Amino acid sequence: MAGPPSSKRQRTADPALATSRIEGLTTDLLLRVMSNLDARLAVQICVLFPCFRDLWRSLPCINATCEEFEDDEGIVNEVSFKAFINRFLARRESVGIDRFRLCYSIVGGPGTDLEACYVDANDWIRHALEHDARIVELENHSEPLELDPDVFTSKCLETLHIGNATLVEGFFEQLEHGCPGLKDLVLTNCMITDHEISSPTLELLTVQEELGFVHDDRLRRHGY
C-alpha cells in the first residue's frame, strides 16, 4: 500500500541538524541577529549553544527591556530586571556599543525608592555612552524618569530618543556641550524644567505626544 502523499507526511525536526546549522553561521551574522533580540533572550540562546556561550558579551546593540520580566498579570519584577541588567553590563566585554535601548517601568507607590530607580537607569545610560553608543533610546512607563544631565557626555552620540522623563534645569546645556555630535533628538511625553531647548548641532527635533514646560516655553535653535 502506498504511503500518504509527501506533502501530508509529518516531519520531525532533527535537533542535531538545527544545532549544526546554527553553529555553522558566522559570528558576525549571529551578532547581527541577536542584536535584534531582548538582552535576556539573547543570553538564553547563547547558553543553549556552548560554542556561543559568551557571544552575548560582545553584542553591539543592547535591548534592555523590562517586558521580559513581566509575570502572567503583566507586572514587571523590578528587582529581577535591575539585577539582570546590572550583571549583563558588568560582564560585557570592553567593546563598543552601537545602539542602546532601555525600556523601563518605574512603578511608584508606598515603599518605592524612586531615587534609586533614577540612579540605576542613569548608570545604565552612562555605561552605554562610555562605550561610544551612537544611538540611545529611552522608553519609560509609569513614573517619569529623572535624567541626570552629567550622564550625557559623549562625542559619539548622534541620536537620542527620550520618552516619559523629567528633564531638569541644565539638561539641554549639557547636551549642547557634552554631546557635540548630537543630530537627532526625539522627545515624547516629557516634562521640561529647563529654561530653553538650544543646540548648535541638532538637525532634527521631534516632539511627540505631550511636552510640558515648567518655565515659559522657549525654543532657541542655532545652525539649523
Instruction: Write the pLDDT tens digit of every residue in 147-164.
Output: 999 999 999 999 999 999
Burial of 27 per CB tally in 10 Å (0-12, 13-18, 19+) = exposed
pLDDT at 28: 82
pLDDT at 224: 38
Is pLDDT at 64 greater than 60 in this prediction?
Answer: yes
pTM: 0.81
pLDDT at 127: 96
Mean pLDDT, residues 86-99: 94
pLDDT at 46: 86
